[in-house]
């Protein structure tokens, strides 16, 4: 642009006036008119976007999801109750030998216990494993096995599980079934490695497979929750009864001991009622409470009690924190409890007392 054109562009400002007629052919050739046209488009765009937003505001606030991405709900089978049993020992070297019968039996076990996570074909696409991270093992992939894909490695996984991967232990299965399952899983692995004699020997030594083992009782989740609830209720009964008894003590010496020993009586009683080891002796009692002063309901002022005071406290707590049946059948008037009415059996108290 030459100097004359520049001056023409600025005439609008220099002359302090407006042109009577706009020459639209020159709009794009003059900077101030080009900016005005661009600004007009921007304003119109903002207005259109705002109107579109207001028109769709009710839709924007809705929770929208694609049904195809919603995972189906998987209801896990309830855990069956099983009594403890003694599992017979096996010849590890013989059990590790591949056979068609072992693979067929292993497939039956796999269908019952493994398809929910690992899928029917072992691809790691079972419904129950959809939320696991990392996902369940794809047995057709020979890479990335946590414990390995030998028979001994798979057996180790079935025995111990892999906590970090969400893999449960199946140590309650008979040893023969675990070996059969290991054979079936291994049949899906491309070119699986073979166990050496030392691998099988170490496996036998690690789990005493040739000697057999005894399994634990297995109960349902509902029954376990009921037992926990009943135990919790029993503990609460013991604690509340003990608090009431100690609050009703009228003997001044006994009250002094109780007030000195505890920083929080409720916490102290709940700590003691869940661990009966302290009942054995004064030494066991003091070892337990001294290990966690301040948090277990006992205060540091406990250390100011004399040996005789601690012996009396130990005897009182064994009496107060008795079993619920004892509490319900006990017709002793706790208001009459005093240091003289507590019979302390010197035979049950260790001769060595912590000062």
pLDDT tens digit sequence for 28-58: 666 666 666 677 778 888 888 888 877 776 6
Residue 229 lies in a domain: no
> Are residues 243 and 342 both part of a single domain?
yes
- Are both 246 and 318 inside the same structural domain? yes
Two tokens, residue 41: 């488009």
Is 93's pLDDT higher than 50? yes
d(CA 104, CA 111): 11
Counting the structural domains of the chain, the total is 3
Residues 183 and 272 in one domain: no
Structural domain containing residue 286: 235-348
pLDDT, averaged across the chain = 78
Percent of the chain with pLDDT strictly greater than 90: 30
By three-state DSSP, how is residue 198 classified?
A: helix
Judge contact between 116 and 127, C-beta under 8 A.
Answer: yes
Q: How many CB atoms are closer than 10 A to CB 277?
A: 11
Q: Which are the contacts of 113, defined by CB distance < 8 A and separation ≥ 6? A: 170, 173, 181
Q: Are residues 114 and 184 in the same domain?
A: yes
Task: Render the burial of 167-196: b for 16+ CB within 10 Å, e for the rest.
Answer: beebbebebebbbbbbbbbbbbbeebeebe
Position 40 in a domain: no
The answer to the question of residue 58 being in a domain is no
Which of residues 230 and 107 earns the better pLDDT score?
Answer: 107
**Does 105 share its domain with 199?**
yes
Q: Is residue 66 part of a domain?
A: no
Q: Is residue 59 part of a domain?
A: no
Q: Based on the domain organization, do 192 and 240 belong to the same domain? A: no
> Do 94 and 209 fall within a single domain?
yes
Q: Which residues pair with 262 in a beta bridge?
A: 298
Q: What is the pLDDT of residue 87?
A: 66
Pair 298, 267: CB distance under 8 Å = no
101 and 153 belong to one structural domain: yes
Same domain, 3 and 97: no
pLDDT (0 to 100) of residue 83: 77
User: Within a domain: residue 298?
Assistant: yes
Residue 273 lies in a domain: yes
Q: Which of 214, 249, 268 is the last residue of a domain?
A: 214
Do 91 and 202 reside in the same domain of the chain?
A: yes
SS3 for 178?
helix
Report the candidate in 73, 291, 98, 63 with the shortest Cα–Cα distance to residue 194.
Answer: 98
Residue 102 has pLDDT above 90, yes or no: yes
60 vs 36 pLDDT, higher one: 36
Domain end residue (candidates: 166, 181, 214): 214
Cβ neighbours of residue 63 under 8 Å, at least 6 residues apart? Answer: none
Per-residue three-class SS string for 253-270: HHHHHHHHHECCHHHHHH
Q: Does residue 183 fall inside a structural domain? A: yes
Distance of alpha carbon 139 from its chain centroid, rounded? 27
Separation between Cα atoms, residue 167 and residue 84, nearest integer Å: 23
The verdict on 255 and 198 lying in the same domain is no
Which pLDDT belongs to residue 311? 92
194 and 274 belong to one structural domain: no
Answer yes or no: is pLDDT of 289 > 60.
Answer: yes
pLDDT tens readout for residues 309-351: 999 999 989 888 875 444 434 433 343 334 444 443 333 333 3
Task: Write down the pLDDT at residue 31.
Answer: 63
């Amino acid at each position: 642009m030459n100097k004359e054109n520049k001056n023409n562009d600025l005439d609008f400002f220099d002359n302090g006036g407006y042109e009577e007629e706009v020459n639209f052919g020159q709009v794009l050739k003059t900077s101030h008119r080009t900016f005005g046209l661009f600004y007009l488009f921007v304003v119109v765009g903002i207005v259109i976007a705002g109107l579109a937003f207001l028109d769709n505001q009710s839709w924007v606030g809705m929770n929208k999801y694609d049904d195809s991405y919603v995972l189906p709900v998987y209801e896990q089978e309830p855990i069956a109750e099983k009594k403890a049993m003694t599992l017979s020992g096996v010849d590890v070297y013989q059990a590790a030998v591949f056979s068609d019968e072992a693979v067929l039996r292993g497939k039956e076990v796999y269908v019952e216990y493994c398809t929910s996570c690992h899928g029917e074909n072992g691809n790691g696409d079972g419904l129950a494993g959809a939320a696991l991270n990392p996902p369940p093992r794809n047995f057709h992939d020979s890479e990335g096995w946590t414990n390995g894909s030998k028979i001994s490695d798979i057996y180790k996984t079935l025995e111990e599980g892999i906590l970090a991967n969400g893999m449960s232990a199946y140590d309650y299965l008979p040893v023969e079934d675990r070996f059969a399952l290991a054979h079936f899983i291994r049949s899906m692995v491309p070119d699986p490695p073979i166990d050496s004699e030392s691998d099988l020997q170490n496996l036998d030594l690690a789990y005493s497979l040739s000697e057999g083992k005894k399994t634990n009782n297995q109960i349902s989740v509902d029954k376990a929750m009921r037992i926990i609830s009943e135990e919790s209720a029993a503990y609460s009964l013991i604690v509340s009864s003990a608090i009431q008894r100690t609050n009703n003590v009228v003997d001044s010496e006994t009250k002094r001991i109780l007030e000195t020993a505890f920083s929080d009586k409720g916490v102290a009683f709940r700590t003691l009622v869940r661990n009966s080891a302290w009942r054995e002796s004064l030494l066991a009692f003091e070892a337990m409470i001294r290990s966690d002063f301040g948090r277990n309901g006992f205060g540091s002022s406990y250390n100011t009690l004399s040996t005789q005071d601690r012996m009396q406290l130990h005897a009182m707590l064994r009496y107060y924190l008795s079993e619920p049946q004892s509490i319900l059948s006990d017709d002793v008037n706790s208001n009459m409890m005093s240091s003289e009415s507590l019979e302390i059996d010197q035979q049950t108290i260790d001769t060595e007392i912590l000062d």
